[in-house]
Structure 1
Amino acid sequence: VMVSLAAVWESYGVRPSAVVGHSRGEIAAACVAGALSLSDAAALVVARGRLLVGARGAGAMVSVALSAQRVRERLSGGLEIAAVNGPASVVVAGDPAEVAAFTEACERDGIRVRQVSDAFAFHTSQMDVIGEELAAAVAGLSPRASEV
């Protein structure tokens, strides 16, 4: 969808000077920039999705309306900061029970918390289990110099 929208914009003459993305958006950005062909970008998304099936249910993620520093002060156990989306928007991820306890503690303190995923702890050490397989799956990709 992201790549298709960029193509629609381009058909109207809108061509970006720069692109940026997060997670799957990084793959779309690489494709829109010309660093990955559409075929290679699709292969990467498919490989990532296939490998993640085995990690389903092992993690959870919540968005927290706090700074990264304030979140670090509240972290316990194996919880990790998965993303810093803004000055007061941080994603925390890890074991589902630990994420639930973290969420309850934040809510008791009047801190806004929103569930992002109840199945995965993306962008954390939990994803290390797919690292080697993902590297092997994408070994045949042909990245190229980007146009954007």
Structure 2
Amino acid sequence: VFVFPGQGSQWPGMAVELLESSPVFAARFEECERALAPFVDWSLSEMVRSGAYDRVDVVQPVLWAVMVSLAASWESAGVRPDAVVGHSQGEIAAAVVAGALSLEDGARVVALRSRAITALTGRGGMVSVPLPADEVRTL
């Protein structure tokens, strides 16, 4: 099973070494960049190399492209999943890897979805509180 995470799994410098050392990863990443290009005003490869993906409308498409490209690398090594699952943009990556969405449709969904999330910023918030519900109610 390939399990694709949501936002928060990123770190500066992620995927840079793979772009330079894995032809399969680099080729699929380039395909992701071309698929995203009509929907974003930034370069996927430049963002990954710079680590400047702190905006939701950047980090989610970046993570999506990394996950889709990792899956291509694993599959080229003979690792074929019986199932794929994901959360947030990981769901979109899973749908592409499973063949439920084309790469182009996945790029469109992840880019437009992340742009919509950005438009909602400031109207609410989300927090993860790793405490039991009773403790949170007391706080």
TM-score category, normalised to shorter length: 0.3 to 0.5
Q: TM-score, normalised by structure 1?
A: 0.45
More helix by share: 2
TM-score, length-normalised on structure 2? 0.47
Bigger Rg over Cα: 1
Higher relative contact order (CA 8 A, sep 6+): 2
More strand by share: 1
